[in-house]
Structure 1
Amino acid sequence: MAELNLAHYEDVLGQLPRLKTYSHLLLVFPLLGDRCPDPLIDSIESAAQEVRNAFPWLACRVLHEGRGPGNSGVFKLATCPEFAFPNPVVRRKDCTDNFPTYQEIIDAHGPVAMLDGNILAPLPAFPHIYDDSKLNPAPVLAIQVTVIKGGLLLDIAAQHNIVDGGSLMRILDLLAKSMRGEQFSAEEIEHGNRDRTKLIRLLQSDEPMLDHSHLILDPHGASKPPGGRPKAQWRYVRFPVQKRNILKERANKEIEGGDELFISTNDTLSAFIWKRVSAARLKRRKRPDDLSKFSRALDARRALEIPREYLGQMGYNATCFLTFRELETMSVGQIGVFLRQAVREVNTNYAARSWATLIANEPNKARIMFGGSFNPDKDIGISSILHANFNNVDFGDLGKPSLFRRPLFSPLESCVYLWTQTVEGHVDALLCLIEADWNELRADVEWSEHTELIG
């Protein structure tokens, strides 16, 4: 492999300061019988070393330099002996005597309260923006394996300016591939190590910028709710496969004869969550003409014709607005169509290039974020990995995970994650809401008809 040029990793889309945090994925594996966990952890370490050797920038540290008044600085990579071979990639932790057992976690379907990120994760997570003085050096990638009674928990974390959520899933897939003894493909190595500085063709002087004003943060915080707001709580909610199918079938029947012939499971569940959470809030807020914003995370790879093997930051967003009154009167199918149209409008090559140009031209990139200004009392932001298939991925001697989760971290009110389907086809959603909204949802007949609370 050619000598590593770290300047090639100073991209455009990864320069947002509000991404200065870590994304996490947690896998739960059984530890059968009296099997010693050490050889399994050794195999994870060996595979992680192979991934790091094939993608050497993963062994770097993240620097945030050049900050000043009106300038948010630059995120770049630097070599770091602490993360270089032969130093281990995997951090090991034994919690066999002070943590819920594997069977307790599985029997409860993996409630987030049982999966404390302060114990299971080596690094902070979104929305916490880390302080360079407290996290120095800041690794690109970190892995922690926690041994519990009857099981093994694997948390993988990546610095969000450098690696987006889709890339983190592909790194996890590379880890599994190595643990199965398979070689990485030429395409995986090429696109995983490619020059990021030449990836996106920015708009030229004769190409007008699109309106991205809704992605600019309010400097005065005018959209934020008043202080003293109750603390929100993360909880998992399950859409059982049969109830999910019934909901999707009903939603598609509601749009028969319209311009749209079909809305996806993703569209259906997103629309249902927006409608029912807004109904709960309308009872509390009693302001039907207020606008609610729905921010939907997108992957810009397809729009920019960048292969899925690319491991950098490709985050984008589809944003739309409806009043609480409209959300009350529209069907799930109609809202699903509205969401689908919002995605189609922005999920284009030109729109993604315009988004990149906005970031490149703005000296103070702290003004920009995927969802723009966000009022958690009214708005919802959603990110989906529904179509990921990690419950069926073979990790060699470790086997297949029994559970795929995000650990419990600080609350981020009105944030929703649509999680990967279980082997049985159930879809779990992780929502962060204040208790008043959770209480209204518990009393909501429509919500209770299609969901089961995991917690």
Structure 2
Amino acid sequence: MAETLPVKPNTPFSDDIIKLSTLDQQAQRHYAKVLAFFRIGHAGKRDPVIRELRRGLAISLSEAPDFVSQVVPVPGSTRKELQLQLGPDSAVPWRVVDYTQQDPSEPDNLWGYGSYDDMAARHFSVTDIPPERLVDPACLHIPDDAQEVPALAIQVNLIRGGLILAICWHHTVCDARSLNFLANAWARHTAASLTTHSEPSGAAQPGSEEAGERWRLNIGTRGATLADLPDYKVDAAARSPLSAGSTHLHDRIDPVAVPFVISTWYFSAAALQSLRSVLEAASAAGESFTTVEAVSALAWRHVTRARFLPRGGDGDGAGPLEGTSLFSTRLDFRARLRPPLPGDFIGNVCEPNARARVALSEVCAPGHGPLAALASAIRGATEAVDDDAVRAHIGIVNELPAVTDLTWGYDLFPGPDLGVTDLSGLDSLRADWGRRLGAPECVRLATRENGLVYIFPVDRDGGFEVQVQCEAEAVEKLQRDGEFTEYAAFVV
């Protein structure tokens, strides 16, 4: 049986409203779901580490009140706008599910996916585990008539030999960088509590004064049009909920018509350095590429070849490829704005996406030179996302009938467009949660997004995992692709 007891911030808040920026309003309206795996011996729901996790979260919420709010519609708005609502009773839903106790009379509590060691042997694959077993069901099924939803929800899953911490947050509240700020504070306070074995002092460490200045992302270019934002479109129906009477707290979930699988690959530190060296040597302009640029180029080429070339992804015997492939990636451009936003800024800072459109024949062309050209195209696309581009994006949204009317004009699945979400800069796998928990052994996503390649946080050895969604046949081709597997080791 699940145990539920909401976590209140260590310092209660008065009634207040946090206004969301234009970019927040335009963000995807769904719950992002992160799973952190910790190896730990425990005695069930009463284990002291559960209490210390609650204490650490309570202090952290005092530092970042946005996460203890409720997401609600803006009263009287005709543009589908949302805001965050705080009050003295604000709390984060907290759920502890003890899967170590197998009681046949409680089928919802039965766990058929093995111990922590069993999951580790399967490289912590969660693709066969229904999300409702790992995350708070309230984040999965939003009633059409809901008038508010929590900004954050936590579920602690206890399995034999370990703990799976599920952190779910409404994407309108913030991006992954902001969530990382909360997670680091939570880890820091939990570690301190586990070390001192004392009641928390409540000494919150709030962010910088500029961290809450969401209004800075309301200022857009007047007169901006879609000509300033190629590959986006205005479509009022694209994200609207299925129910016409909904308050639009959650975007529609469109079914995926083409069957797919999710595969995970590991790039070691040595493989990453080797790939960068090869691309630098092959670059016509002598460019030195970042790790993410190099891996993104490799994924763009080889995933596309595996999906669209007739024979095994090596190009032999393939007919001419027609059309183009659009590469897109979500950026954290805090430092690119003028003036820059601080690193601890809470909000969404990842639209517009960086985009590069290249002929399919060039994407799939063999050789190190064409691969370096793809990396160069990715660099050019990311450098183009500057303050002007962001302000144009904001300006277009500000003039639309509804803030959700602007959407991507490309299809990541079944393609041939490809999107990358880069999480490698987050220190999730290096954060110390204290002597009983340590650092997470692995991070996974319970979110399913069509056609995306996820680059996971860098581990302590300097490597990282990459998760790819594509057809099963394409994964088989990738496994036989000698150039791809020279750098990427298949995990699961």
Q: For the residues of structure 2 that align with 1:211 and 1:5, how far apart are their CA atoms?
A: 40
Q: Alpha-carbon deviation of 1:13?
A: 0.5
Match of 2:355 in 1: 319
Query: Using a 3 Å threshold, how does the CA distance of structure 1 residues 218 and 450 change in structure 2: closer, same or farther?
Result: farther
Q: Alpha-carbon deviation of 1:338?
A: 0.9
Deviates most, 3-12 or 372-381: 3-12
Q: Per-residue displacement from partner, 1:188-209 (whole Å, max 9, x unpaired)? A: 15344x242345532256x898
Q: Alpha-carbon deviation of 1:67?
A: 9.3
Q: Alpha-carbon deviation of 1:108?
A: 3.0
* Match of residue 362, structure 1, among 397, 400, 404: 400
**Are the counterparts in 2 of residues 383 and 416 from structure 1 also a CA contact under 8 Å?**
yes
- 2:27 counterpart of 1:23: no
* Match of residue 332, structure 1, among 362, 371, 388: 371
- Counterparts in 2 of 1:174-193, with a 5 A limit? 174-181=185-192, 184-186=204-206, 188=207, 190-192=209-211
**Are the counterparts in 2 of residues 236 and 430 from structure 1 also a CA contact under 8 Å?**
yes
Match of 1:224 in 2: none
Partner letter of residue 350 of structure 2? G
Partner letter of residue 272 of structure 2? R
- Counterparts in 2 of 1:259-278, with a 5 A limit? 261-278=287-304
Q: For the residues of structure 2 that align with 1:232 and 1:124, how far apart are their CA atoms?
A: 26
Match of 2:333 in 1: 300
Percent of aligned positions that are identical: 19
Match of 1:249 in 2: 277
Q: For the residues of structure 2 that align with 1:38 and 1:134, how far apart are their CA atoms?
A: 38
Partner letter of residue 73 of structure 1? K
Match of 1:94 in 2: 98
Q: For the residues of structure 1 that align with 2:320 and 2:471, how far apart are their CA atoms?
A: 18
Partner letter of residue 228 of structure 2? D
- 2:481 counterpart of 1:453: no
Query: Using a 3 Å threshold, how does the CA distance of structure 1 residues 100 and 117 change in structure 2: closer, same or farther?
Result: same
Partner letter of residue 271 of structure 2? K
- Counterparts in 2 of 1:350-429, with a 5 A limit? 350-369=388-407, 371-377=408-414, 378-410=416-448, 412-429=449-466
Q: For the residues of structure 1 that align with 2:399 and 2:192, how far apart are their CA atoms?
A: 45
Q: For the residues of structure 2 that align with 1:372 and 1:341, how far apart are their CA atoms?
A: 20
Q: Per-residue displacement from partner, 1:344-396 (whole Å, max 9, x unpaired)? A: 112x1221122222222212333323x43324231111100112222221112
Match of 1:433 in 2: 470
**Are the counterparts in 2 of residues 145 and 153 from structure 1 also a CA contact under 8 Å?**
yes
Q: For the residues of structure 2 that align with 1:267 and 1:11, how far apart are their CA atoms?
A: 29
- Equivalent residue pairs, number: 433
Q: Per-residue displacement from partner, 1:156-194 (whole Å, max 9, x unpaired)? A: 1111011111111111111112223395545x15344x2
- Counterparts in 2 of 1:133-152, with a 5 A limit? 133=144, 137-152=148-163
Q: Alpha-carbon deviation of 1:31?
A: 0.9
Deviates most, 438-447 or 148-157: 438-447
Q: Per-residue displacement from partner, 1:88-133 (whole Å, max 9, x unpaired)? A: 65311111242321112223322233665321111577xx8x6443
Q: Per-residue displacement from partner, 1:314-337 (whole Å, max 9, x unpaired)? A: 122101111110112253222111
Query: Using a 3 Å threshold, how does the CA distance of structure 1 residues 28 and 136 change in structure 2: closer, same or farther?
Result: farther
* Match of residue 170, structure 2, among 159, 176, 193: 159
Partner letter of residue 24 of structure 2? G
Q: Which has the higher helix share?
A: 1
**Are the counterparts in 2 of residues 9 and 195 from structure 1 also a CA contact under 8 Å?**
no
Q: Secondary structure at the match of 1:246?
A: helix
Q: Secondary structure at the match of 2:392?
A: helix
Q: Per-residue displacement from partner, 1:260-309 (whole Å, max 9, x unpaired)? A: 53110000000000000111122249661211111110113112211011
Q: Alpha-carbon deviation of 1:6?
A: 4.2
Match of 2:105 in 1: none
Q: For the residues of structure 1 that align with 2:473 and 2:439, how far apart are their CA atoms?
A: 35
Q: Per-residue displacement from partner, 1:44-83 (whole Å, max 9, x unpaired)? A: 1111111222333322211235799xx6511112246774
Q: For the residues of structure 1 that align with 2:237 and 2:84, how far apart are their CA atoms?
A: 33
TM value normalised by structure 1: 0.85
* Match of residue 65, structure 2, among 56, 70, 75: 56
Deviates most, 264-273 or 431-440: 431-440
Q: For the residues of structure 1 that align with 2:191 and 2:94, how far apart are their CA atoms?
A: 18
Partner letter of residue 252 of structure 1? E
Query: Using a 3 Å threshold, how does the CA distance of structure 1 residues 432 and 279 change in structure 2: closer, same or farther?
Result: same
Q: For the residues of structure 2 that align with 1:435 and 1:5, how far apart are their CA atoms?
A: 51
Q: For the residues of structure 2 that align with 1:35 and 1:242, how far apart are their CA atoms?
A: 40
Match of 2:220 in 1: 202
Q: Alpha-carbon deviation of 1:241?
A: 2.8
**Are the counterparts in 1 of residues 13 and 90 from structure 2 also a CA contact under 8 Å?**
no
**Are the counterparts in 2 of residues 55 and 189 from structure 1 also a CA contact under 8 Å?**
no
Partner letter of residue 292 of structure 1? S
Deviates most, 131-140 or 385-394: 131-140
**Are the counterparts in 2 of residues 157 and 168 from structure 1 also a CA contact under 8 Å?**
no
Q: Secondary structure at the match of 1:289?
A: coil
Match of 1:111 in 2: 125
**Are the counterparts in 2 of residues 105 and 114 from structure 1 also a CA contact under 8 Å?**
no
**Are the counterparts in 2 of residues 162 and 312 from structure 1 also a CA contact under 8 Å?**
yes
Q: Alpha-carbon deviation of 1:400?
A: 2.3
Provide the alpha-carbon RMSD of the alignment: 3.1
* Match of residue 76, structure 1, among 75, 83, 93: 83
Q: For structure 2, list consecutive stretches of 5 or more residues without a partner in the other structure.
A: 1-10, 103-110, 194-202, 239-254, 311-317
Query: Using a 3 Å threshold, how does the CA distance of structure 1 residues 210 and 404 change in structure 2: closer, same or farther?
Result: farther
Q: For the residues of structure 1 that align with 2:145 and 2:118, how far apart are their CA atoms?
A: 35
Partner letter of residue 50 of structure 2? I
Match of 1:237 in 2: 265
Partner letter of residue 12 of structure 1? T
Query: Using a 3 Å threshold, how does the CA distance of structure 1 residues 28 and 4 change in structure 2: closer, same or farther?
Result: same
Query: Using a 3 Å threshold, how does the CA distance of structure 1 residues 356 and 363 change in structure 2: closer, same or farther?
Result: same
**Are the counterparts in 2 of residues 238 and 426 from structure 1 also a CA contact under 8 Å?**
yes
Q: Secondary structure at the match of 1:365?
A: coil
